[in-house]
Amino acid sequence: MLTILSQNTADTNSFRAFTALRARYASWDEVLAAPSDELIEVIRPGGLAPTKAPRIQHVLAEVKEASHGTWDLSFLAGTPLREARDWLDALPGIGRKTAAIVLLFNFGRPALPVDTHVHRVATRLGMLPPRTPLERAHDLLEEVLQPDEVYPFHVELIRHGRDTCRAPRPICGLCPLTDVCAYFAQAQRGRLPIAPVPEPAPPGAEPRFHHELIHGWAPPE
């Protein structure tokens, strides 16, 4: 349910909504049986509540039926990967990325979630052709990764995309991958924009992005 709540919203908001959901309802059966208007208000902090509330209840109904009322999805751990992914994909509001998140983080399966950071960084590095659709990006990247590379690849590309290879302009002056980066090669020719390395924060100011990396200051929580 946290994965659904996280769709198209910030992590802070999705965790706030998930915390409210678990505080209000003692079981998934209660969430499934809740009046839709009530559930919408409970998860409103997560954004898009009128869309996500019925989606959550539809998914819960499918999971309850598939698990014979146990809410146990451990069968996905032993199901062939493609079949497990297709089963999740068939749930209301669950797409390729969400299915991959469940399989990777809950069951350790080598399914790669391609979010905006992974897609952007992989494209800039030249691992994906320009304007590759997200669905195709999942297939292309999974084809070149070994199973034990999927988790670190996903996590590190998100970190790199948030901290350094940011949209709309990457901070190439901090990047250790410029020697293999297709974007940087174009930026060196003046064809693509890059951001300057951030300056140190003035005395007394709260440190910002990269200050730990550049200046030895710990970033804010």
Task: Tell me if residue 52 is catalytic.
Answer: no
**For 201-221, how does the pLDDT look when each residue is reduced to its tens digit (9 = 90+)?**
677 766 554 444 444 444 444
Low-confidence ranges of the chain (pLDDT < 70): 200-201, 205-221
pLDDT attached to residue 107? 94
Look at residue 201 in the predicted model and tell me its pLDDT: 64
Specify the length of the chain in residues. 221
pLDDT of 11: 82
Could you give the dihedral angle defined by the CA atoms of residues 103, 106, 108 and 114, in that order, rounded to the nearest 10 degrees?
50
Q: What does the pLDDT read at residue 206?
A: 63
pLDDT value of residue 213: 47
Contacts of 93 (CB under 8 A, 6+ apart): 4, 7, 51, 52, 55, 58, 59
Domain boundaries, the chain: 2-107, 116-188
Q: Looking at 85, 96, 97, 120, which residue is catalytic?
A: 97
pLDDT for position 205 = 67
Residue 198: what pLDDT? 81
Q: Does domain 116-188 have CATH number 1.10.1670.10?
A: yes
Buried b (16+ CB within 10 A) or exposed e, 51-83: ebbebbbebbebbeebeeeeeebeebeebeeee
Residue-wise pLDDT for 149-158, tens only, equals 999 999 999 9
The model carries a pTM of: 0.83
Beta carbons of 164 and 214 less than 8 angstroms apart: no
Fold type of domain 2-107? Endonuclease III; domain 1 (1.10.340)
Determine the pLDDT at residue 208: 53
Helix (H) or strand (E) holding 144: helix 134-144
Instruction: Write the single-letter amino acid at 180.
Output: V
Other C-beta atoms closer than 10 Å to the C-beta of 177 total 15
Q: What is the pLDDT of residues 131-153, one digit of tens each?
A: 999 999 999 999 999 999 999 99
